[in-house]
Chain A
Amino acid sequence: MAAHRCSYLAWLVFIFSLSGILVADGQETTLSGDHLVSAVENPQTDAETEKRAAEEPAVEERRWEATRAADAAEENQEFPASVATVLSSTPQLKDDFQEELVIRPLHSGDIYASFHFRTLWETDFMKGNKVSHYRLFPKSLGQVISKFSVRELHISFTQGYWRTMQWGQPYLPSPPGAELWVWFQDTVTDVDATWKELTNVLSGIFCASLNFIDSTNTVQPSASFKPLGIANVTDHRFLRYATLPREIVCTENLTPWKKLLPCGSKAGLAVLLKSEKLFHSSFHSQAVHIRPMCQDSQCKTPSWELRQTLNVVFDLHTSGQGKQEWSLFKMFSRTLTEACPLASSSKIYIDITDNPQEEQFELIPATPLLRQAVVLGDRRTFSVYDLTQQVTFGTVRSLNLLIRWKSTEGHMLRPLLHAERYVAGYGLQTGEIHTLMYNNHPFRSFSVLLLDSVPWYLRLYIHTLTVTSKGKDNKPSYIHYQPSKDRIRPHLLEMLVQLPPHSVTEVTVQFERALLKWTEYTPDPNHGFYVGSSVISALVPSTVAMDTNNTQERTLFSSFFPCKEESSYFVRVYTEPLLVNLPTPDFSMPYNVICLTCTVVAVGYGSLYNLLTRSFQVEEPNPGLAKRIANIIRKMRGVPPL
């Protein structure tokens, strides 16, 4: 009986699922049409923010992609005015939340997942406005902004080093450890005190050791860090930049970060953020960026953007099973069942640029929605999954994306710009910092801004600074150097260097290792002392503009001039931090050392000094009283004494 019922049930399920699939197919085709419309409006909200203002999205049916993708992108670019009109016509929401997950399968077989959450709020923290009603925007951050008159705040926590040679450029670069840079409003009078207070407050909010940021690791870069939002102030007196290369990022930093999201980790993409999987990875980086944005093209009213990003790279080899496939469940040990109800848009993008015919990997379930975007100077194609549409989740009511590799070749990439840094030499007296910057562009040179902030205990010999490319001296066109002051401020070196095409530029500077006071050593002095990453900021010629040969896909009339789209794009590259050993006393036996030193000084040195400086003579024994009196009498009488 039970068996009979079971089979009956199974039949029912089968029939329903079959019809479900049929219906879903129908919906998909219709929806994709809808989506085309929505995609026209969507890009504007994304346009300046999502992919560094260099984005031209176009969503089409898959079968259109080969022929018309380029043209669509072109059309979009031709009508920037329409962007504004569409935007102003959208219903005015006071605040808005969007979430996105971008997955990029990497050549090495690893996988890169990048979460982006954006809260846009039409309000004004500036000019002393009292803001007290919060909806989506986290109150804790809002209060920080208004109390400390922050114009822009960028903070990132990173565990691991981004391997540019294997993974290409990240969507949002960040140095290992913690990085914080803040632009204050020009109404702030005592920037240093505000900065100090701000770092302590942030330290509490993010459960991080940001309170270790003080004047010895804070710099004011003159050119490398410009405001990213609307700003008329570029006086770098209001900028503070600090890194903590030693900061270790773990779940206690993730939890407060997740709490800033409107849905917390209850719904939407954030349910994937489980720490046991996020920290079982090759790279983990989480960041918060706050900046003022324009509300419309006239820019009459500002709105504030809070962008939370989390980047993680999963490693193929350490994942265990040896099978070359990735799924949401395997990556995050969760699947998706719904979008965040508060989100106006909730999407997953999979980078399928290198996989047009599915020869590298297979994507299950397949999606007809495609989107093109120019990311980091390269035109990429993405498969799109819209979580706000129920059809995305299919009949099982959950989405578990599966990427199955067919071939992997782990060859090294040649990113146009990458950099490395190391300490040369041996011994504990001196050393040399080498910074290598590679320009792999075959025919174009470009200039980069190099920012180096070196702690005071490495005393840079700035006269030994050399910049060489291709064996020749390369004179920087701009140098900003601020020497360090012992125990007060670090060295700051900023240079604008022109990198010749296809070359390595080497910047070397020698340093001397300082001997610290004994209380200044860290609890583990033999581990070494960290020097934060150098920052290389550059406008790199776009690869899209570079491939002049690849014209067959484009129309003849549009493909003559090579600079078709964005001719160059902004890249920031961080080098690895350095671990430098300083001369370290043996702390394990302070008692012995103190005893020995005291004994040597007291006994050895004292008496030796006595022996060397004094002359010794045999003293006459002290005469008795009677003899002395007798002598006085004899003296009075003029007779020689006894």
Chain B
Amino acid sequence: MGLLSDPNRRRALISMLTRLNAPICMLCYCAGVCWFMGLAFEPFTLRTYMSENAMGSTMVEERFPAGERALATAREFAAHKKKVGGMPVDWLVKTMQARGLEVFTQSFSRVLPFPDENKERYIVKGTNVYGILRAPRAPRTEALVLSAPCSPGDNNNQAVGLLLGLAHYFRNQIYWAKDIIFLVNEHDLIGMQAWLEGYHHTNTTGMKWTPLQGRGGSIQAALSLELSSDVITSLDIVLEGLNGQLPNLDLANLFYAFCQKIGVLCTIQGRLQRNDWDSVSGYSHAVQTMMLMVMKQASGRPWGDHGLFLRYHIEAATISGINSFRQYKTDLTTTGRLVEGMYRKLNNLLERLHQSYFFYLMPSLTHFVSIGYYMPAFGLLAVILLLRALDLWVQLVAPPARTEDGIAEIEQSSPGVRSVLTPLIISHLTGAALYLMPVHFQEMAVEHFPVSETEAVVLTAIAVYTAGLALPHNTHRLVSGEGTEQGWRVLKLVAVLYLAVLLGCTALINFSLGFILALTMVPVAAFVTPDVPKVLSAIVFVILSPACTLLFSVFLFQELQDMPVSLQDGWMLYISVISQGILDHYLFGSLVYPLIALMVYPCWLLFWNILFWK
């Protein structure tokens, strides 16, 4: 800082920074990307370890014996489900009561903003059934949740069977210190949302539900089970929740510890960890696993029923059983023992899980990258914006000093303010239109065009988005006439700082989203001037715009999941992804859609505006 106090040295530093601005920016960008790619390299990552003492050193024995009976229950459940044609509420209530639980139901209804074509639902009505195992001699202050969704078709019957089997077994044990809530939720996430809102008596999304009759105090942790086959080959843990929130790393550690103890193959992102980190294929495996996590986190949607718990500060994960073509199979007894072990350890918790990390990326289940390691990657990208801002500032301040003409300076800066404000307001209005119009004008769109409601919403969104490309620079010319040289610099300074703050805040909450946006938007923001070749840079601009980022992400995600799609399918997927994103916002309060529509897109439009500055 002494460096900056000395005017001479400060001047030297600034002149160096302005002179070498472009190379430094290029260097930072490359360094950021390399840093990020290096995160998956095993020697650079930390091995996971159990931080919570209450779960680490204590021993528990798993004795769950009744896998076969759980399977029988699952078959019975499937039969009743088929007979009723939905959730067999009465049967579940009776079965849970027979297992000695306090059973309650909650009914809910929700009209979606537009029909969900993926899951084929529009007006959703359902019932959640939950039974509370009251811990002996506990004052109803703490609870754990075990949930299994009641899925349509033949899915997840085994999960419900195992849940009921565990309920029966847990009920006969004396050692529980926390109430255990066994929840079977209908309509997966919507049911879960209704139950959680009912439990915490909040209403964030305008859903209708009946109040809950029984509670167990503050929920400490939750697991959601997904099992669709009698035997499994491996268990997968899903961590990514709403808005990119993650549960405490200790929950993943706990899962891994018990998989090791019981001898079950465990995966994250459906991928096993490999030991050959020094080979190219081993490294690319780790990169792919991490990229999958980054993409899932960036999407901001809950990737399992657990995702909605995280808002309420409840550590939760989804455990799903995978039945592939491997030789070695695990039966339901073993899976039950694994869940039992996890619950017994969670039962031992004195405090909420808080010792380990909340912000991390996992290149494999045994290794993690903490916030301290991945933030520099983003920081290197963000610093480009600050360097450009500094450069612009120096350029803006310098000329008046040279002319030494006070009147001219005032004349130059006053149109600058107006020329900044006008595009700022117009682009934000466009963003607001992008946020509001798709859902509110769907009926009009359906009337005029031969498309379904879902397509209408998505196509309206794309249309507004595209229209926005034409709108700002035209209106800008209409409103404030010819832009000046000074004008675009001021506008770019504002836009660059705006983007820096925006991305910085996003990356703090959801690193993955922030990083992906920074990766595409920073180069555009750094090098846009009105003087570059228009057509070529316009093409680059569009390719690096948020919408195209999403398109590429869809293809990349499919590629990473080993399910590459053709262009045609990819486009269909793209449309459904947009509609899902909008639905997530309206149903669960996901913030990605409003963030993109109201902030990121207008910010990008500002740069688009600068490109076509006249």
Mutual binders A and B: yes
Q: A279 at the A/B interface (Cβ < 8 Å)?
A: yes
Please report the C-alpha to C-alpha distance between residue A108 and residue B98 in the assembled complex, in whole angstroms. Answer: 11
Residues of A contacting B5 in the complex (Cβ-Cβ under 8 angstroms): 607, 610-611, 616
Residue of A nearest to B142 (CB): A579
CB distance from B17 to the nearest CB of A (A): 16
Q: Which of A280, A426, A434, A576 contacts B174 (CB 8 A)?
A: A280
Q: Which of B138, B142, B351 contacts A526 (CB 8 A)?
A: B351
Contact B136 A611 (CB under 8 A): no
Contact with A along B80-115 (1 / 0, CB 8 A): 000000000000000001001010000000000000
Q: Which of B142, B172, B354 contacts A317 (CB 8 A)?
A: B172
Please report the C-alpha to C-alpha distance between residue A432 and residue B312 in the assembled complex, in whole angstroms. Answer: 14
Contact A434 B102 (CB under 8 A): no
Please report the C-alpha to C-alpha distance between residue A280 and residue B173 in the assembled complex, in whole angstroms. Answer: 11
Contact A579 B218 (CB under 8 A): yes
Please report the C-alpha to C-alpha distance between residue A282 and residue B173 in the assembled complex, in whole angstroms. Answer: 11
Q: B352 at the A/B interface (Cβ < 8 Å)?
A: yes
CB distance from B237 to the nearest CB of A (A): 23
Residues of A contacting B218 in the complex (Cβ-Cβ under 8 angstroms): 423, 528, 579-581
CB distance from B423 to the nearest CB of A (A): 30
Contact A282 B141 (CB under 8 A): no
Contact A245 B139 (CB under 8 A): yes
Contact A576 B141 (CB under 8 A): yes
Contact B136 A282 (CB under 8 A): yes
Please report the C-alpha to C-alpha distance between residue A282 and residue B136 in the assembled complex, in whole angstroms. Answer: 4
Interface residues of B in 341-382 (CB under 8 A from A): 350-352, 354-355
CB distance from A280 to the nearest CB of B (A): 6
Contact with B along A303-334 (1 / 0, CB 8 A): 00000000000011110100000000000000
Contact B137 A425 (CB under 8 A): no
Residues of A contacting B173 in the complex (Cβ-Cβ under 8 angstroms): 318
Contact A284 B137 (CB under 8 A): yes
Q: B4 at the A/B interface (Cβ < 8 Å)?
A: yes
Please report the C-alpha to C-alpha distance between residue A166 and residue B138 in the assembled complex, in whole angstroms. Answer: 16
Q: A176 at the A/B interface (Cβ < 8 Å)?
A: yes
- Given A318-B172, A579-B218, A607-B4, A283:B354 Cβ within 8 A: no
Contact A160 B138 (CB under 8 A): yes
Contact B7 A618 (CB under 8 A): yes
Output the residue of A317, A524, A588 with the most chain B CB within 10 A. A317
Residues of A contacting B1 in the complex (Cβ-Cβ under 8 angstroms): 603, 606-608, 610-611
Q: A148 at the A/B interface (Cβ < 8 Å)?
A: no
Please report the C-alpha to C-alpha distance between residue A426 and residue B219 in the assembled complex, in whole angstroms. Answer: 12
Q: B311 at the A/B interface (Cβ < 8 Å)?
A: yes
- Given A410-B97, A581-B352, A616-B5, A166:B139 Cβ within 8 A: no
Residues of A contacting B313 in the complex (Cβ-Cβ under 8 angstroms): 426-428, 581
Please report the C-alpha to C-alpha distance between residue A108 and residue B173 in the assembled complex, in whole angstroms. Answer: 17
Please report the C-alpha to C-alpha distance between residue A317 and residue B174 in the assembled complex, in whole angstroms. Answer: 9
Please report the C-alpha to C-alpha distance between residue A284 and residue B174 in the assembled complex, in whole angstroms. Answer: 14
Residues of B contacting A161 in the complex (Cβ-Cβ under 8 angstroms): 134, 138-140
Q: B121 at the A/B interface (Cβ < 8 Å)?
A: no
Residue of B nearest to A312 (CB): B137
Please report the C-alpha to C-alpha distance between residue A576 and residue B171 in the assembled complex, in whole angstroms. Answer: 21
Please report the C-alpha to C-alpha distance between residue A315 and residue B100 in the assembled complex, in whole angstroms. Answer: 10
Residue of A nearest to B51 (CB): A588
CB distance from B14 to the nearest CB of A (A): 13
Please report the C-alpha to C-alpha distance between residue A607 and residue B5 in the assembled complex, in whole angstroms. Answer: 8
Please report the C-alpha to C-alpha distance between residue A420 and residue B140 in the assembled complex, in whole angstroms. Answer: 10
Residues of B contacting A139 in the complex (Cβ-Cβ under 8 angstroms): none
Q: A281 at the A/B interface (Cβ < 8 Å)?
A: yes
Q: Which of A165, A317, A426 contacts B312 (CB 8 A)?
A: A426
Residues of B contacting A213 in the complex (Cβ-Cβ under 8 angstroms): none
Q: B202 at the A/B interface (Cβ < 8 Å)?
A: yes
Interface size on A, residues (CB 8 A): 56
Secondary structure at the A interface, as helix, strand, loop or mixed, is loop
Please report the C-alpha to C-alpha distance between residue A525 and residue B201 in the assembled complex, in whole angstroms. Answer: 25
Q: A177 at the A/B interface (Cβ < 8 Å)?
A: yes
Contact with A along B133-177 (1 / 0, CB 8 A): 010111111100000000000000000000000000001111000
CB distance from B51 to the nearest CB of A (A): 9
Interface residues of B in 197-223 (CB under 8 A from A): 200-202, 215, 217-218
Q: A422 at the A/B interface (Cβ < 8 Å)?
A: yes
Contact with A along B1-21 (1 / 0, CB 8 A): 110111110000000000000
Residue of B nearest to A525 (CB): B351
Residue of A nearest to B312 (CB): A426
Please report the C-alpha to C-alpha distance between residue A160 and residue B201 in the assembled complex, in whole angstroms. Answer: 25
Please report the C-alpha to C-alpha distance between residue A428 and residue B313 in the assembled complex, in whole angstroms. Answer: 9
Please report the C-alpha to C-alpha distance between residue A596 and residue B461 in the assembled complex, in whole angstroms. Answer: 46
Output the residue of B6, B142, B201 with the most chain A CB within 10 A. B201
CB distance from B207 to the nearest CB of A (A): 15
Contact A422 B172 (CB under 8 A): no
Contact A424 B141 (CB under 8 A): no
Contact B350 A424 (CB under 8 A): no
CB distance from B393 to the nearest CB of A (A): 14
Q: A530 at the A/B interface (Cβ < 8 Å)?
A: yes
Contact A424 B139 (CB under 8 A): no
- Given A320-B172, A579-B141, A607-B1, A424:B200 Cβ within 8 A: yes
Contact with B along A262-305 (1 / 0, CB 8 A): 00000000000000000111111000000000000000000000
CB distance from A67 to the nearest CB of B (A): 38
Contact A425 B201 (CB under 8 A): yes
Please report the C-alpha to C-alpha distance between residue A161 and residue B200 in the assembled complex, in whole angstroms. Answer: 21
Interface residues of A in 604-622 (CB under 8 A from B): 606-608, 610-611, 616-618
Residues of B contacting A169 in the complex (Cβ-Cβ under 8 angstroms): none
Q: A147 at the A/B interface (Cβ < 8 Å)?
A: no
- Given A317-B172, A422-B215, A577:B136 Cβ within 8 A: no
Q: A397 at the A/B interface (Cβ < 8 Å)?
A: no
Interface residues of B in 271-287 (CB under 8 A from A): none
Contact B4 A166 (CB under 8 A): no
Q: A237 at the A/B interface (Cβ < 8 Å)?
A: no
Residues of B contacting A73 in the complex (Cβ-Cβ under 8 angstroms): none
Please report the C-alpha to C-alpha distance between residue A33 and residue B8 in the assembled complex, in whole angstroms. Answer: 115
Residue of A nearest to B212 (CB): A422
- Given A320-B172, A410-B97, A616-B7, A526:B137 Cβ within 8 A: no
Q: Which of A176, A320, A524, A618 contacts B350 (CB 8 A)?
A: A524
Output the residue of B8, B311, B352 with the most chain A CB within 10 A. B352
Please report the C-alpha to C-alpha distance between residue A282 and residue B133 in the assembled complex, in whole angstroms. Answer: 12
Please report the C-alpha to C-alpha distance between residue A280 and residue B175 in the assembled complex, in whole angstroms. Answer: 9
Please report the C-alpha to C-alpha distance between residue A320 and residue B171 in the assembled complex, in whole angstroms. Answer: 10
Residue of B nearest to A313 (CB): B136
Contact with B along A151-181 (1 / 0, CB 8 A): 0000000011101011000000000110000
Residues of B contacting A528 in the complex (Cβ-Cβ under 8 angstroms): 141, 218, 352
CB distance from B47 to the nearest CB of A (A): 19
Contact A283 B137 (CB under 8 A): yes
CB distance from A468 to the nearest CB of B (A): 12
Contact B201 A315 (CB under 8 A): no
Please report the C-alpha to C-alpha distance between residue A318 and residue B168 in the assembled complex, in whole angstroms. Answer: 11
Please report the C-alpha to C-alpha distance between residue A426 and residue B218 in the assembled complex, in whole angstroms. Answer: 11
Residues of B contacting A425 in the complex (Cβ-Cβ under 8 angstroms): 200-202
CB distance from A622 to the nearest CB of B (A): 17
Contact A176 B4 (CB under 8 A): no
Please report the C-alpha to C-alpha distance between residue A432 and residue B142 in the assembled complex, in whole angstroms. Answer: 18
Contact A576 B217 (CB under 8 A): yes
Contacts A161-B140, A282-B136, A424-B202 given; 14 further ones with Cβ under 8 A? Answer: A159-B137, A163-B134, A166-B102, A282-B137, A318-B174, A424-B201, A425-B202, A426-B202, A426-B313, A427-B313, A527-B350, A576-B139, A588-B355, A618-B7
Q: What are 24 A-B pairs at a CB distance below 8 A?
A: A159-B137, A163-B102, A280-B174, A283-B137, A315-B136, A317-B100, A317-B172, A318-B172, A318-B173, A320-B172, A423-B218, A425-B200, A524-B350, A527-B350, A528-B218, A576-B141, A576-B217, A577-B139, A578-B217, A607-B5, A608-B1, A610-B1, A611-B4, A611-B5
- 6 closest cross-chain pairs (CB), A and B: A607-B1, A176-B139, A424-B201, A526-B351, A160-B137, A579-B141
